[in-house]
């Protein structure tokens, strides 16, 4: 497999990842731009590094540096982080390797993200950030209040901010939606 073919595979893979999976599910144009930019940049740098005599440690170091820079830039949701690392990995794999193994790895990455982020996988489980219109310090009371708001069973609750002045509580909550019965 030539470098030109690997560039083509990278382009197809990142477009599938961004527009075939991510954008259709999450509708975040800003992150599509970030994923495409990161992928193209990593691919270009990996192609240059691959053309000179440097060990794989440089490639992994690049991966680490880019990850740290991005992690410090702004908050990013966990599922978005998975796509971000996939974009990095695809660019690195296609830029440094040739043959059939990189193709298998790229397909594997795409398949994993397609399956684990599929809306039919655990459809009743959700995570939300909720601003409760009361400053509630009692955990049991807060859980009961959030369960009313989300019409579900709270599985995990984390207070992000308790504002006694404005009488609000900002929480991150993971919950299972109650089954709706049609009467």
Q: What's the pLDDT at 25?
A: 86
Coil/strand/helix, residue 147: helix
Element at 153 (helix H, strand E):
strand 152-163
Please, which residues bridge with residue 132 across strands? 169
Judge if pTM exceeds 0.85: no
**Residue 19 corresponds to which tokens in the numbers above?**
């527009």
- CA separation for the pair 137, 44 (Å, rounded): 52
Q: Which residue has the tokens 């075939």?
A: 20
Q: How many whole angstroms from its chain centre is CA 104?
A: 21
* Per-residue pLDDT tens digits for 113-148: 999 888 787 777 788 889 999 999 999 999 999 999
What is the domain partition of the chain in residue ranges?
A: 3-116, 125-177
- Per the prediction, the chain carries an average pLDDT of 85
Q: What is the mean pLDDT of residues 36-43?
A: 90
């Amino acid at each position: 497999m030539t470098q030109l073919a690997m560039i083509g595979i990278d382009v197809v893979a990142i477009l599938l990842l961004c527009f075939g999976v991510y954008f259709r599910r999450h509708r975040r144009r800003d992150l599509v731009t970030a994923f495409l930019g990161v992928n193209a940049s990593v691919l270009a740098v990996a192609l240059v590094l691959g053309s000179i005599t440097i060990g794989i440690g440089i490639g992994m170091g690049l991966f680490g540096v880019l990850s740290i820079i991005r992690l410090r830039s702004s908050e990013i949701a966990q599922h978005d982080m998975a796509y971000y690392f996939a974009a990095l990995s695809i660019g690195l794999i296609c830029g440094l390797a040739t043959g059939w193994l990189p193709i298998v790895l790229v397909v594997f990455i795409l398949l994993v993200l397609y399956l684990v982020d599929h809306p039919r996988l655990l459809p009743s489980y959700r995570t939300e950030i909720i601003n409760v219109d009361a400053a509630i310090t009692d955990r049991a009371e807060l859980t009961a209040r959030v369960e009313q708001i989300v019409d579900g069973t709270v599985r995990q609750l984390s207070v992000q901010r308790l504002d006694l002045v404005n009488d609000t509580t900002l929480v991150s909550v993971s919950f299972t939606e109650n089954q709706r019965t049609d009467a």
